[in-house]
């Protein structure tokens, strides 16, 4: 059965404050690969053939709602006014779930590694013969996970919490992965039967399975890899999930045609885009919004964010490319060069110890070592425009706003405060003078002072 707009609604539980994170930031807003965890979950939902998304948050979590709407404008927001358990959280979403929805997928905002193929399989199970589908995994160390108890026909019989499990159930390695798919026609009726007669006095979504089986409804398990269901409850969990996400992003990059000289030292953002035949050296970090075209070389120890790098360009080592940078075709950005809101056009070279900010460097221009575009006066930013084929000598300061014409030449050590015409030479350093024999006389005088004891 195809998954149409009315078929699937994903209810994302994101009301957790994450007390163990010891942070003022809601748990779902902590980043994995440069993107909030809730952003990863919303991106996965977006792969479910245009499924509706309903986000359940607490009443004091506008930051989560605002972010969700910024990336998924049509996401509905439901408020869980009191945090009374996962079952209560899903009930809070009832009015936001369309009546013509066939299956509700309940997923968690702090489980960013779950994959769309798994959620599609869960939804398909409920669109088919089953009423409830629970996400399960084979645990290497079941520890205190809830156990999935199957009957003799391999159907899901119950979800048993570790603390309530018998010794035989504790031996089960098939564990609860948290997510659940339920036919809408059954979900909210079953939720209405939940009780909070437990130690925590909460309404548990997991009790749905027992209630469904009591009505003779079919329950099944859809399994995934253990890594896919890793949740985040602490900073240590955050690090584990980050490592797994980076492993996936590195593999994706290499499968897409990039060479990573030392994969484990390259750090990607979730939205990094790489072309083919890209070579990335050791210890390169990509921040958000980076696009790299074909045949680009990024040498070791570079930090890149908010940047587009066009075909054939070379970057690094030790370069920092900040937001708004565009590195043109076959351009060269060398060691200890920083750019910000800068267009480095085709074939231009900025090879050494240079800052280019709020600027254009024209095609084929060469920027010498130690050059600085002085773009900020303490209050406002100003633009530097360097024409094509220009040459800026080493240790020059270009005080914006200023324009360097096509083919102009700036003498080394100059401080340029006025526009320079095309093909002109601009030199602002003082005239060199020389005093013959001065150094020898100076050294002799200093030696004499030492011997006389008058020198320090």
pLDDT above 90 coverage of the chain, percent: 88
Choosing from 30, 81, 130, 352, the catalytic residue is: 352
Phi first, then psi, for residue 189 (nearest 5°) are -65, -45
The full set of domains in the chain, from first to last, is 8-229 (3.90.550.10), 247-426 (2.160.10.10)
- Please enumerate in sequence order all residues whose Cβ is within 8 A of that of 309, keeping only pairs 6 or more positions apart, or say none: 290, 291, 292, 293, 296, 298, 315, 321, 327
For residue 352, indicate whether it is catalytic.
yes
Say if residue 184 is exposed, middle or buried (CB neighbours under 10 Å; 0-12, 13-18, 19+).
buried
Cα pseudo-dihedral 94, 99, 105, 111, rounded to 10: -50
Q: What's the Cα-to-Cα distance from 344 to each of 97, 127, 375, 376, 416, rounded to whole Å?
A: 50, 53, 16, 19, 20
Asked if pLDDT for residue 2 goes beyond 50, the answer is: no
Asked if pLDDT for residue 242 goes beyond 90, the answer is: yes
Q: What is the largest CA-CA distance in the chain?
A: 109
What gap in Å lies between CA 228 and CA 142, rounded to an integer? 15
Q: Is the peptide bond before 311 cis (omega within 30 degrees of 0)?
A: no
* Residue reference for tokens 């990573």: 260
* Residue reference for tokens 């790489």: 274
What gap in Å lies between CA 179 and CA 191, rounded to an integer? 15
Average pLDDT over residues 245-263: 98
Q: How many residues does the chain have?
A: 456
Q: What is the pLDDT of residue 1?
A: 40
Q: What is the pLDDT of residue 453?
A: 78
Q: Tens digits of per-residue pLDDT, 35-50? A: 999 999 999 999 998 7
Q: Among 82-91, 138-147, 266-275, which range has the highest average pLDDT? A: 266-275
**Mean predicted lDDT score pLDDT of the chain:** 94
* Residue reference for tokens 């370069």: 319
**Integer distance in angstroms from the first to the last C-alpha of the chain?**
92
What gap in Å lies between CA 382 and CA 266, rounded to an integer? 34
Q: What is the DSSP letter of 232?
A: -
**119-155 core/surface letters (b: 16 or more CB in 10 A; e: else):** bbbbbbbbbeebbbbbbbbebeebeebbbbbbeeeee
* Residue reference for tokens 């005088």: 445
Q: Tens digits of per-residue pLDDT, 209-232? A: 999 999 999 999 999 999 999 999
Nearest partner of 397 among 443, 429, 434, 362, judged by Cα? 429
* 153 pLDDT tier (thresholds 50, 70, 90): confident
Q: What is the DSSP letter of 50?
A: S
What gap in Å lies between CA 25 and CA 434, rounded to an integer? 64
Residues facing 373 on adjacent strands: 398
Asked if pLDDT for residue 4 goes beyond 60, the answer is: no
Asked if pLDDT for residue 456 goes beyond 60, the answer is: no
What angle, 0 to 180 degrees and rounded to 10, lies between the N-to-C axes of helices 62-71 and 37-45?
40
């Amino acid at each position: 059965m195809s998954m149409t707009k009315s078929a699937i609604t994903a209810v994302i539980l994101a009301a957790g404050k994450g007390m163990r994170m010891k942070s003022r930031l809601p748990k779902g807003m902590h980043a994995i690969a440069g993107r909030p965890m809730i952003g990863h979950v919303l991106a996965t939902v977006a792969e479910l053939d245009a499924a509706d998304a309903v986000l359940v948050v607490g009443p004091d979590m506008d930051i989560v709602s605002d972010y969700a709407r910024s990336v998924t404008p049509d996401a509905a927001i439901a408020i869980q006014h009191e945090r009374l358990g996962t079952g209560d959280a899903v009930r809070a979403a009832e009015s936001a779930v369309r009546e013509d929805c066939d299956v509700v997928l309940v997923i968690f905002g702090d489980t960013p590694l779950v994959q769309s193929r798994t959620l599609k399989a869960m939804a398909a199970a409920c669109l088919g013969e089953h009423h409830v589908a629970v996400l399960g995994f084979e645990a290497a160390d079941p520890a205190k996970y809830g156990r999935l108890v199957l009957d003799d026909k391999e159907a899901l019989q119950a979800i048993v919490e570790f603390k309530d499990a018998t010794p035989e159930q504790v031996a089960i390695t098939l564990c609860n992965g948290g997510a659940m798919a339920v036919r809408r026609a059954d979900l909210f009726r079953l939720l209405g039967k939940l009780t909070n007669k437990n130690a925590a006095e909460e309404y548990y979504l997991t009790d749905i399975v027992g209630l469904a089986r009591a009505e003779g409804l079919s329950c099944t398990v859809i399994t995934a890899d253990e890594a896919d269901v890793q949740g985040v409850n602490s900073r240590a969990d955050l690090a584990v999930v980050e490592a797994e996400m980076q492993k996936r992003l590195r593999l994706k990059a290499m499968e897409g045609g990039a060479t990573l000289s030392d994969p484990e030292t390259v750090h990607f953002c979730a939205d990094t885009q790489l072309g083919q035949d890209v070579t990335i050296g050791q210890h390169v970090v990509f921040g958000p919004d980076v696009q790299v075209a074909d045949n680009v070389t990024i040498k070791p120890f570079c930090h890149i964010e908010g940047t587009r790098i066009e075909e054939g360009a070379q970057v690094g080592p030790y370069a920092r490319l900040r937001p708004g940078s565009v590195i043109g075709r076959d351009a060269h950005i060398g060691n200890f060069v920083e750019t910000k809101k800068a267009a480095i056009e085709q074939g231009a070279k900025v090879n050494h110890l240079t800052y280019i900010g709020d600027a254009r460097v024209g095609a084929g221009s060469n920027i010498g070592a130690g050059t600085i575009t002085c773009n900020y006066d303490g209050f406002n930013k100003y633009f530097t425009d360097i024409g094509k084929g220009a040459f800026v000598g080493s240790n020059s300061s270009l005080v914006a706003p200023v324009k360097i014409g096509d083919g102009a030449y700036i003498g080394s050590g100059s401080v340029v405060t006025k526009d320079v015409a095309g093909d002109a030479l601009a030199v602002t350093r003082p005239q060199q003078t020389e005093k013959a024999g001065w150094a020898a006389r100076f050294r002799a005088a200093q030696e004499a002072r030492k011997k006389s004891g008058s020198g320090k």
